[in-house]
Amino acid sequence: MTRTTVTGGRLIMAAAASVFALAAYAGPDEDELVVNDEIEMVTKTDAPAHLDGLDTIYSGWRFRSDETQAVQTDDFDNPAMLWVEQAGEVWKTAEGSEGKSCASCHNDVDSMAGVRAVYPKWNEAAGEVRTIEMQINDCRENRMGAEPWKYAGGDMTNMSALLASVSRGMPVNVAIDGPAQSTWEKGKEIYYTRYGQLELSCANCHEDNWGNMIRADHLSQGQINGFPTYRLKNTKLNAVHSRFKGCIRDTRAHTFSPGSPEFVALELYVASRGNGLSVEGPSVRN
């Protein structure tokens, strides 16, 4: 039994190694992204000073096919905007014991421009780093008297996409110093930790092998400035923690849960790797 287990593990590791060994470099696309002929997106820029593994950072948009890229350039063609419109109606709908809607406090959703760009962020009153989903549920429970939404559920992902949409084109600017630093360090540790039977870390794909073609997939740098994202693979909006969960699951490991402290820390770290890129959400990916 021991021999079988060890041999099986070696075969898995050999298979994983062969995938990277056979990868062919394709590089990022050099086209520029402009949405609706008016929102200019920064999809390539110098890496932030705190990032050691990369000199230049690229949005995941640059690693998609021409056809997929084109879908994101026009809101009329972008399927994600259907859910954004739904969230726009929810924004104005009163819920909970207080009889309030999001608009009751924040007025038009355009007032939230720039918010997506700085999350996750340290919340002084709560004494913790909060994602935008955590803040949405805090508002629902403590200001509206409404039930919290499932962390990566449809209602939450739609609202997160709505908030991202009004920040499109603004630079990601996530703070990692001060009281947020310890959470950032935890996220960095998770990013470089190998998980699962395949013993792969986030960095193995998105730092060591970005730009490579592995089977039919063009590996990006794993930037999350485009989340929530509409994936052609499952034809729906996807939250960033759902993507984290899927990646770790694909290493054949037990994964963390959406909204867990581990994924909050990982989101802070990964978001900071994209400081300087434009907020793109809701984007379109494979």
Residue 62, annotated as binding a ligand: no
Q: What are phi and psi of 15, to 5 degrees?
A: -65, -45
Residue 3, annotated as binding a ligand: no
Question: Six-digit token pair at 269?
Answer: 């770290």
Residue 140, annotated as binding a ligand: no
Distances (CA, A) of 196 to 6, 139, 188, 208: 14, 37, 18, 18
Residue 247, annotated as binding a ligand: yes
Residue 218, annotated as binding a ligand: no
CB 93 within 8 A of CB 140: no
Find where tokens 């924040």 sit: 106
Residue 241, annotated as binding a ligand: no
Residue 139, annotated as binding a ligand: yes
User: Is 247 labeled as catalytic in the residue annotation?
Assistant: yes
Residue 106, annotated as binding a ligand: yes
Out of 81, 161, 166, 247, the active site residue is 247
Which residues participate in catalysis according to the annotation? 247
Q: Which residues are annotated as a binding site for heme c?
A: 102, 105-106, 139, 202, 205-206, 247
Per the annotation, binding residues are 102, 105-106, 139, 202, 205-206, 243, 247
Task: Summarize the annotated binding site for substrate as residue ranges.
Answer: 243
